[in-house]
Chains A and B, each alone.
Chain A
């Protein structure tokens, strides 16, 4: 038995050496065990994960795949344990700064060689998010766009168009306020929704690179650029653009305002669409626009949080793990797992087809052709967790008491000095 598996390994090694591309079409012989730890624990993602394992297993009958699905929240603490002891061959995680601690600790495998293969050429839009220190440390499997979801019927009634500039956005908002409504619904109880507003205002005012430097601790919070972002935000707050008492609502509890028409729009990720549709906003009432430019000199950049697969450096079956990662990002698999029956999000491979859904189509077009500045992961994924918490508390306070801005920025600056030390 030992001899047999050894000889298979030998054949495998030669196959790999001769034709690296052989894995993609699934004819390479993989054997042994492949253990996968996944955080895709909610019903739909879980079915997707199990489906992928099943299909990959069918392609490699000699491979014994062991899948462990862990609750998504519990996973965030367990990953620290299992990356050092009892390491799986493949593990889920998140892109960009969220993977930095594990990359820095040497717990994720450098898989730049996988990215060099032809099959991954369609993944250009997310490559930046997977790159640290000039190397790639994992592959994405799904992402979704952020943007403004608005009530098309209210815009029509008031004779408004999708804004092309921040000035137009403000004049639209004034018209909406004059009609007795609020422009934007938001629930800041759990803070991150305010992080979305900050991200967009900041990326439109100062650009993606500034966002990356700010969340990376290279720019102080007392910088003039940050102040410009908050000045733009303050204009919206002062005109009464946001609903009252937003600190009392979760994001779900902020939805009734847009459903009832008391608010005309919401800045949110694409996950807001299913509940709004269920509540009766069909495609004639609900529409989407990209957050308009504020500073014409900066390129548009978007928030598109990306979920990923990685190979821990302690993995035992790295060849099979790499083959699995290639399988995950293949155009065909991407089309399937991201369609409306499964994840209902955007495929990461440009050669995939997007589900026939208005919002997914618009989001895919926006991210693949109209986001030249880059793709950010979202404030609380780009900034270290501790900094994100303090900062988002500051955003929430600012939205209620804009006069406290100097105090808030001072506090954030002090926190940053401690956290990024």
Chain B
């Protein structure tokens, strides 16, 4: 079922594997490379059809200069940050508490509540588009940053609770019982015993949520409209003029917009991978 590890295969297969890997890698990264190259090309290269060739002139400074100083990009980046960070904090705080409650206490409907959190993850979020839009409109939160943050927190908490509850379940329950025998209040058990043990899970989840929310496009388009509230994923098209798409500026903008999650990934790689596999292996 699993492929044989490479170091156990024949020498000739190892050689061809080593030769094919870079080729596959380049193919895989081609679209990204194209965006990177587009971002330093002048506008005319698109009109002359020079899509894949050498840039006719290098416009790195001009293009990126426009992105940072002559467009709303800085504002969009700020919006993204103002949406992502509160969502991240909100999700982590709420789900560590729900996870604690569902993981530690035994009460009658515990499992059912837990199942509801899990079931929420199986709802395809697109079908919520119209009701959520109407709801935010009725609440006066349409086209505002808090509106987007509240929705993201509500929607992401389901997944986070699953994640946290399973992590807390895997902790040695004896620790909690010992604390109870010592007469420690329940909230102190949460704060001084469980929370410190959850640090790896908290970090992993924060990193995951950050990338999820930063990269969200769908809800950004559905729930926000203007430069005062739209995150960078939705704002990137503002480079387009009425008739013309400014591919060179959109490419430069995309690169800039992609930097925070990419930086997050490389800096927190350990937590990211831990997050993805957490709960997968018992």
Tell yes or no: A43 within 8 A of B by CB: yes
Closest beta carbon of chain B to A90's beta carbon, Å = 19
Q: Mark A49-86, 1 if CB is under 8 A from B, else 0.
A: 00000000000000000000011101000100000000
Of residues 254 through 305 on chain A, the ones whose CB sits less than 8 Å from some CB of chain B are 255-257, 259-260, 269, 271, 275-276, 278-280
Interchain CA distance A256-B46 in the complex, whole Å: 8
Partner of B44, one of A41, A45, A253, A278: A278
Tell yes or no: A171 within 8 A of B by CB: no
B242, A42: Cβ atoms under 8 Å?
yes
**Chain A residue at minimal CB-CB distance from B45:** A279
Q: A-B pairs with CB below 8 Å: how many? A: 54
Residues in chain A near residue B225, CB distance under 8 A: 70-71, 74, 78
Tell yes or no: B244 within 8 A of A by CB: yes
Interchain CA distance A41-B71 in the complex, whole Å: 12
Residues in chain A near residue B49, CB distance under 8 A: 255-257, 259-260
Counting chain B residues whose Cβ lies within 8 A of the other chain, the interface size class is 10 to 19
Counting chain A residues whose Cβ lies within 8 A of the other chain, the interface size class is 20 to 34
**Chain A residue at minimal CB-CB distance from B46:** A252
B47, A71: Cβ atoms under 8 Å?
no
Interchain CA distance A174-B137 in the complex, whole Å: 58
Residues in chain A near residue B44, CB distance under 8 A: 275, 278-280
A71, B226: Cβ atoms under 8 Å?
yes
Of residues 42 through 68 on chain B, the ones whose CB sits less than 8 Å from some CB of chain A are 43-44, 46-49
**Contact A252 B245, CB 8 Å, known A74-B225, A276-B47:** yes
Interchain CA distance A278-B70 in the complex, whole Å: 21
**Chain A residue at minimal CB-CB distance from B224:** A74
Interchain CA distance A256-B247 in the complex, whole Å: 15
Residues in chain A near residue B240, CB distance under 8 A: 42
Interchain CA distance A256-B48 in the complex, whole Å: 5
Tell yes or no: B238 within 8 A of A by CB: yes
Residues in chain B near residue A44, CB distance under 8 A: 241
Tell yes or no: B243 within 8 A of A by CB: yes
Most central of A44, A72, A271, A279 by chain B CB within 10 Å: A279
Partner of B47, one of A269, A271, A278: A278
**Chain A residue at minimal CB-CB distance from B242:** A42
Residues in chain A near residue B48, CB distance under 8 A: 256, 259-260, 279-280
Residues in chain B near residue A317, CB distance under 8 A: none
Residues in chain A near residue B244, CB distance under 8 A: 252, 271, 275
Residues in chain A near residue B227, CB distance under 8 A: 71
Residues in chain B near residue A42, CB distance under 8 A: 240-242
Interchain CA distance A275-B241 in the complex, whole Å: 12
Interchain CA distance A78-B47 in the complex, whole Å: 33
Residues in chain A near residue B70, CB distance under 8 A: 43
Of residues 233 through 250 on chain B, the ones whose CB sits less than 8 Å from some CB of chain A are 238, 240-245
Q: Mark B222-233, 1 if CB is under 8 A from A, else 0.
A: 000111000000
Residues in chain B near residue A222, CB distance under 8 A: none
- Could you give 24 example pairs across A and B, Cβ below 8 Å? A41-B238, A45-B242, A70-B225, A70-B226, A71-B226, A78-B225, A250-B245, A252-B46, A252-B244, A252-B245, A253-B46, A255-B46, A255-B49, A256-B47, A256-B48, A259-B47, A269-B243, A271-B243, A271-B244, A275-B44, A278-B44, A278-B47, A280-B44, A280-B48
Q: Across the A-B interface, give the 5 residue pairs with the lowest CB-CB distance, nearest first.
A: A256-B49, A279-B47, A271-B243, A74-B225, A275-B47
